[in-house]
Each structure stands twice: as C-alpha cells, then as structure tokens.
Structure 1
Amino acid sequence: MNTSIRRALGTTALTTAALLAASGVASAHVSVNAPSAAQGGYTVLEFRVPTESETASTTAVTVELPGLASARTEPIPGWTATTEKDGGDLVTSVTWTANPGAGVPPGEFQRFVVSAGPLPAQDEVEFPATQTYSDGSVVDWNEATPASGEEPEHPSPTLELAAGSDDTVASAVAAPSSSDSDTTARWLGGIGLVLGALGAALGIGATVRSRRS
C-alpha cells in the first residue's frame, strides 16, 4: 500500500513539474494582451517582454503594427519610445530603447503599453517583434503557428479580436489618414474664404446701389 502511494505521488510530482516547465517556456515568449480588443475599435495593447538570456539584458524592443491611425505609448522610466509611419501617415511600428544603465535584466520582464486603433477588421492580428540584448544578440518573434498547431520556437505575438459593430468596422475601414484630413480641411477652408469674399462683394454692391437710388 505504502509503495503504491509513493509511486502515485512520484508520478503526480513528475507530471506537475512537466506542466510547470511547459508553462514556464510558454510564458517566456513575447506576448500581447488586450482583453477588450474588437475589430474597428481602439484598445490598450500590453506587450510583455521577458529576458530569456542568462547573461544579457533586454535593451530594445520593436513591435510592428498593422498600419494604425493612432498609437500612443505609455511612459516607462529609463526608456525612450519612437514610432515609425508610412507614406499615408499610419503608424507601422513602435520601438522602445533603454537609456544607458537601464534595461530588463535576466530573470525579469517588462510591460510595454500602447493605446492604439482603429484595429483592423479581421479575426486576429499579428504583431511581429524584435528583441535586442545588451550583448548585441537579436531575437525575432515573427514565426506563424503552423497548421499542425505546434507552437514555433519564436512565435509572433498574436491577438484575437472580437467582432465589432457594423458602424465601427465601416468607419475603421473608411477612416482617412491625417494627411487626407488636412487636405480636405484646406479645401473647405479655401472654399469658405471664397464664399465669404463673394458675399462681402455682393453686400458692398447692394449698399452702393441703394445709395444711388
């Protein structure tokens, strides 16, 4: 009886250790979290970046974005954030760089937060990331999950999006870039000036005619 119990306990312990080890490996990956994210909406994206190296610190992180109209980073003491845009003025990536003496040491992780949107009208979106270490090594987190379902060594951070309302999704798809908005505003402003000048001229003419009569 005692022997059977000891064997059962030993098997349970090994199984638990294996599960913990597996979860530890999975949790060490760069990941993205945003429970309220929906298609066509705005949300707060939280990227969790652990340092897997045993000897070097994480000194820079770049996350690719799917061309978003807005992306605002949350300040992190000791880090500087910069954004890149495409020709249409949409944000395509965010890079966080540690200031001298800062970084994420071995055995620790850091949250990098972005308020962004509108999110694309699709079921899920990938955010490929690049992690740079103090020893110069670089890890690309950009591998897609194969059809077999087995997790790759460096999976791309992926976020599932809830279905958005028809109006929200439509507005996200049709939302013009800021440059388009600026151009439209200039045209409207110019038209307004022309109409104003025309109205003033007509008013002056009417005044002159009334005086002559």
Structure 2
Amino acid sequence: MLAGPALAHVGVQPVGEAAKGGYATVNFKVPNERDDASTVKLEVNFPTEHPLASVSPQAVPGWKIAVTKSKLDKPIEMHGKQITEAVSKVTWTATGDAKVAPGYFQQFPLSIGQLPEDADQLVFKTLQTYDNKEVVRWIDAPTEGAEPESPAPVLTLTAATEDGHGAAAGAKDDDAKGGAEHASDQSDGEHGATENAASSDSSDGTARGLGIAGIVVGAAGVAFGVLAGRRRTPSTGTPATPAS
C-alpha cells in the first residue's frame, strides 16, 4: 500500500546511461495522480550547483515548450569555450485538448549535457500543475534511509566512458546490434537453404513419380495395341474358296 503512491511520483530516467562528463537523453515521466483533474503544465528546474549549458527538448505533440536560461555566477568551460549562461528551467504547457488525463502518463524527453564529472546524481525540482489550478511541488531532495513526502526527480550518473561522451557504450550497443543482425541474417540464410533443399527434393520426387507413371501408361498402351491387332487379324483375312 505504501509502494503504490511512490510509483506515481514525477521521475526522470535516462535512455541508456547518463555517464559523467558526457551527454544523455532523459525522459521526465509524469503520471496523473488525480481522479478529477488533468495535468496541463510541467516545470523542471535545473540544478544550479551543476549547470548544464546544452539542453535540447524533443517536441511533444500538443505541448508548448519554453527553455529559460540564466546568467552563471561563475563561467564554465565547454569544448574550449567560456559559457556564461546555462539552462535553469524547461516548461511544458498543454495547448488545445492536450493534457495528461486521469489514469494516464506522459513522457517529456530532453537531451542534456555536458554532465558533471564530480557528481553522482542530479536533482531536478519539479512543479506539476493541474487544470483545477492545483500545483504539486516535487522539490524534496532525497535523504538516506527515508523517502521524502514529495521527492524531486533524481538522475543517477554512471561512471565516465572511455571518451567521456558515451561513445564506448554506444559502440558496444552498435556491436551488439550488428551481431544480432548478422545472426538473424545467418539464420534466415540457413532457413532459406533448408526450404530450397526441401523444395528441390519435393520437385525431384514429383518428377520421378510422373516419369514412372508415364512409363506405366506407355507400356499399357503398347500391350493394348498388340492385343487389339491380334483380335483384328481373322476378320480382315481373305475368305476361303468353297470346295467344288
């Protein structure tokens, strides 16, 4: 009974891994916890202690997206450039008939980076607004040994990859995918060869059967012709001359 409500909290999960020092695609999963109201707005606040300069949202049909940037107290360096501002908030607002209705959930994807190398997790304080004007504040940071009443979405960071940009993990995924495709092609080839062999055996069997049947029919025809000829010989001969 206690685990049920926890599953309905707004959460964030990476697509694959979110490696330190790299980039990641993440999904903010927003379930509807109300039976008589729909979610029409989501505000995700980014951690100021670990600013992210690169944030790109993916379009969500029926939702307007606003990316807010703020000046940094201390510039950060990214790809050899000094970054003086970073994304501080991303807001999704439903338009028209779009909304997260009771009993449904919606995912809001983002591409984010560069992830910090000196942190194990990122906390995104989030506000969820319903069409009855209720605002649920998912802003409580996680605490060891107990779950907060309104926990903020937390993105867990994994160890840095070889090049710091997730390329090693991507290469492994591509290799695995290529191996699976090769195995599938090989299996398809073997299956096709088996089918062709079976088809060839079937065709040979049919041809042999037809050949044997033809020989039998031919032999029967020859026998019938010989018998018929013998039966016609007496009737076609010259009549005998009567004795004087």
- TM-score with structure 2 length normalisation? 0.57
Structure 2 counterpart of 1:190: none
The yes-or-no answer on 1:119 pairing with 2:115 is yes
Deviation at 1:105, TM superposition (A): 0.5
Q: Which amino acid aligns with 1:48?
A: K
In structure 2, distance between residues paired with 1:60 and 1:92 = 17
Residue 143 of structure 1, aligned match among 140, 144, 149: 140
Please identify runs of 4+ aligned residues in structure 1 that moved more than 6 A. Answer: none
Deviation at 1:150, TM superposition (A): 1.4
Structure 1 counterpart of 2:56: 72
The yes-or-no answer on 1:89 pairing with 2:94 is no
Give the aligned CA root-mean-square deviation in angstroms: 1.7
Structure 2 counterpart of 1:63: 44
The yes-or-no answer on 1:53 pairing with 2:34 is yes
Deviation at 1:89, TM superposition (A): 2.5
The yes-or-no answer on 1:131 pairing with 2:128 is yes
In structure 1, distance between residues paired with 2:109 and 2:30 = 11
Deviation at 1:100, TM superposition (A): 2.7
Pairs aligned (count): 148
Deviations 1:37-56 (A, max 9, x none): 01111000111001101111
Q: State the identity %.
A: 43
**Bigger Rg over Cα:** 2
In structure 1, distance between residues paired with 2:140 and 2:19 = 23
5+ residue gaps in structure 2? Answer: 72-83, 166-244
5+ residue gaps in structure 1? Answer: 1-20, 170-213
Residue 106 of structure 2, aligned match among 80, 93, 110: 110
The yes-or-no answer on 1:25 pairing with 2:9 is no
The yes-or-no answer on 1:100 pairing with 2:87 is no
Residue 44 of structure 1, aligned match among 4, 9, 25: 25
Deviations 1:145-191 (A, max 9, x none): 233x211121011111112158739xxxxxxxxxxxxxxxxxxxxxx
In structure 2, distance between residues paired with 1:28 and 1:86 = 31
- TM-score with structure 1 length normalisation? 0.65
Deviations 1:1-47 (A, max 9, x none): xxxxxxxxxxxxxxxxxxxx444322101000014101111000111
In structure 1, distance between residues paired with 2:68 and 2:26 = 17
